[in-house]
Amino acid sequence: ILQHPDGTVLKQLQPPPRGPREQEFYNKVYDSDCCDSILLELREYLPKYFGVWSPPTAPNDTYLKLEDVTRKFNKPCIMDVKIGQKSYDPYASAEKIQQQVSKYPLMEEIGFLVLGMRVYHVSSDSYETQNQHYGRSLTKETVKDGISKFFHSGYCLRKDVVAASIQKVEKILEWFEGQTQLNFYASSLLFVYEGSCQATTVRLGDVTLAEKRRVPKGLLSGGDVLEYNNNINVINSTENGKIEASVNKGLSKFYALHKKACSKRHHSQLSLKVENSEQDNVWKTSTCITQEHLNGNVLPQLEKVFYHVPAETKESANVEVRMIDFAHVFPSNTKDEGYIYGLKNLITVLQNILDN
């Protein structure tokens, strides 16, 4: 996979018949005249497709020009999981079938295969990578622990990411349950999530990230930059002039804003109490930050408080799950039972990781 200067990625077209078949699939799904509701919905689960591209110096080399799903992430954690009970298509030779089955004999029983993963560990500021041999070493008994590695930050299991991943895979399963047009073989799901705890910067005026809100006079000047992480959306002004961190509503299980605790102090103080019930209340923090210490930037201090507490909600994590690799997609008039079987088994494994 190459990267184009415009931020897309370039996947070289495979030799016939695989390459032309994958190109035909993308052309069909992304046809500007397409009015098939099944295919239009399928676009939601694929990388965006921008046609084909050839380098000026090698006009005969053709590349699929695709969305870089990892581009918006600072430290992307990536996992490639092949889905289905068969990794060979209906037209495969006996030799090809034997070759594919021998690579992972459990494919039919488990319904998916981890082809590789790359996980960022906050604790060591480094990546751990696993290749396809790691995935093929997983058995029915070890597959849950094998996949849970992908969701571990080095400090904790990212249950927020697991929950968000389940939700997205369930949406793809819904699509498969409702379509009988296409069958997919040797196709994968690409999982991507943000591994970094470092804050990104966002301007209050950027309406794509935060709703514009009135800020108490003297608290922030017009172009001041707030730091924020995945847990905190924007600094809100409240009716009585105090500020509060607008935390995703689903985080209420862990994070509670206690307005009353500081109500008798300076009107611009902020009180924040965080409890982690999952870790037997190893630590509890209650902090009040005065306006003098804010200097237009409350988040670095809040980030220290939130740092070790993963969110438990599906909507809190920034997660992408996309279908990729379509060199073996064929027309059909029945449900893709092999792919559906794999998706259901994968959801079961992810749910077990979340529950345990």
pLDDT at 288: 37
Q: Flag whether 133 is in a domain.
A: yes
pLDDT at 40: 98
The residue out of 68, 89, 110 marking a domain boundary is 68
Cα dihedral sign, 11-17-20-23? negative
Phi and psi of 167, rounded to 5°? -60, -40
**Beta-ladder partners of 191:** 79, 321
> Pairing relation of β-strands 2-3 and 49-53?
unpaired
The residue out of 39, 68, 97 marking a domain boundary is 68
pLDDT at 197: 79
DSSP string, 292-331: HHHTT--HHHHHHHHTT-----TTTS-EEEEEE--TTEEE
**Is there a single domain that holds both residue 14 and residue 96?**
no
| pLDDT tens, residue by residue, 64-119 | 999 999 999 999 999 999 999 999 999 999 999 999 999 999 999 999 999 999 99
Q: Flag whether 227 is in a domain.
A: no
Q: For residue 177, what are its two tokens?
A: 């349950």
**Is there a single domain that holds both residue 46 and residue 83?**
no
**Is there a single domain that holds both residue 54 and residue 168?**
no
Q: Based on the structure, what is the number of domains in the chain?
A: 2
Q: Flag whether 13 is in a domain.
A: yes
pTM greater than 0.85: no
DSSP string, 234-252: EEEE-TTS-EEEEE-GGGG
**Is there a single domain that holds both residue 105 and residue 157?**
yes
Mind listing the pLDDT tens digit of every residue in the chain (356 residues)? 899 999 999 999 999 999 999 999 999 999 999 999 999 999 999 999 999 999 999 999 999 999 999 999 999 999 999 999 999 999 999 999 999 999 999 999 999 999 999 999 999 999 999 999 999 999 999 999 999 999 999 999 999 999 999 999 999 999 999 999 999 999 999 999 999 975 443 333 333 333 333 333 333 334 333 333 333 333 333 343 333 333 333 333 323 333 333 333 333 333 333 333 444 433 333 333 333 343 444 444 444 434 444 444 434 589 999 999 999 999 999 999 999 999 999 999 999 999 98
Q: Flag whether 252 is in a domain.
A: no
- State the Cα–Cα distance between residues 182 and 73, nearest whole angstrom: 32
| pLDDT tens, residue by residue, 119-151 | 999 999 999 999 999 999 999 999 999 999 999
**Is there a single domain that holds both residue 62 and residue 37?**
yes
**Residue 347: which CATH number?**
3.30.470.160
Say if residues 15 and 325 touch (Cβ distance below 8 Å): no
**Is there a single domain that holds both residue 86 and residue 192?**
yes
Say if residues 69 and 188 touch (Cβ distance below 8 Å): no
Q: Flag whether 225 is in a domain.
A: no
pLDDT at 317: 81
- State the Cα–Cα distance between residues 191 and 65, nearest whole angstrom: 20
Of the candidates 39, 55, 49, the residue with the CA atom closest to the CA atom of residue 2: 55
What is the end-to-end Cα distance of the chain in Å, rounded?
Answer: 36
**At residue 68, what is the residue type?**
D
Count of CB atoms within 10 A of residue 260's CB? 7
**Is there a single domain that holds both residue 101 and residue 180?**
yes
- State the Cα–Cα distance between residues 315 and 167, nearest whole angstrom: 9
CA separation, residue 86 to residues 126, 195, 197 (Å): 35, 32, 38
Say if residues 195 and 119 touch (Cβ distance below 8 Å): yes
**Residue 10: which domain range?**
1-68
**Is there a single domain that holds both residue 181 and residue 74?**
yes
pLDDT at 198: 59
**Is there a single domain that holds both residue 59 and residue 167?**
no
Taking every pair of Cα atoms in the chain, the longest distance, rounded to a whole number of angstroms, is: 79
Say if residues 225 and 210 touch (Cβ distance below 8 Å): no
pLDDT at 316: 57
Collapsed DSSP state (helix, strand, coil) of residue 346:
helix
pLDDT at 227: 35
Q: For residue 109, what are its two tokens?
A: 């029983």
Of the candidates 186, 179, 225, the residue with the CA atom closest to the CA atom of residue 38: 179
The residue out of 35, 68, 101 marking a domain boundary is 68
**Is there a single domain that holds both residue 73 and residue 193?**
yes
Count of CB atoms within 10 A of residue 181's CB? 14
